[in-house]
Amino acid sequence: MLLPFFLTPNLETGTDEAGRGCLAGPVTAAAVILPSAFENHLLNDSKKLSEKVREKLRPIIEQQSISYAVIHLEPLEIDQINILNASIKAMQQSILKLDPKPNYIIVDGNSSIALTPSLFTGEVLVKNTVKRFSEKDCNTFNDIPFSCIVKGDSKFMSIAAASVLAKTYRDEYMNRIHEEFPMYNWKQNKGYPTKEHREAIKKYGVTKYHRLSFRLTL
CA distance 99 to 86: 23
CA distance 50 to 37: 25
Residues 22-48: tens digit of each pLDDT:
999 999 999 999 999 999 999 998 999
Query: What's the pTM value of the predicted model, to 2 decimals?
Result: 0.87
Least confident of 107-116, 145-154, 158-167, 185-194: 107-116
CA distance 22 to 119: 23
Report the SS3 class of residue 186.
Answer: helix
CA distance 156 to 33: 12
Mean pLDDT over the full length of the chain: 86
Give the chain's domains with CATH numbers: 12-204 (3.30.420.10)
Reported confidence tier of residue 62, pLDDT bands at 50, 70, 90: very high
What average pLDDT does this structure show over 106-124? 53
What average pLDDT does this structure show over 91-113? 83
Residues 174-194: tens digit of each pLDDT:
999 999 999 999 999 999 999
Residue set of the binding site:
16-17, 108
Counting residues of the chain whose pLDDT is more than 70, the rounded percentage is 83
CA distance 212 to 115: 25
Residue set of the binding site for a divalent metal cation:
16-17, 108
Reported confidence tier of residue 114, pLDDT bands at 50, 70, 90: very low
pLDDT, residue 131, reads 38
| pLDDT at residue 12 is higher than 60 | yes
| pLDDT at residue 218 is higher than 90 | no
Name the residue with higher pLDDT: 85 or 137: 85
| pLDDT at residue 110 is higher than 70 | no
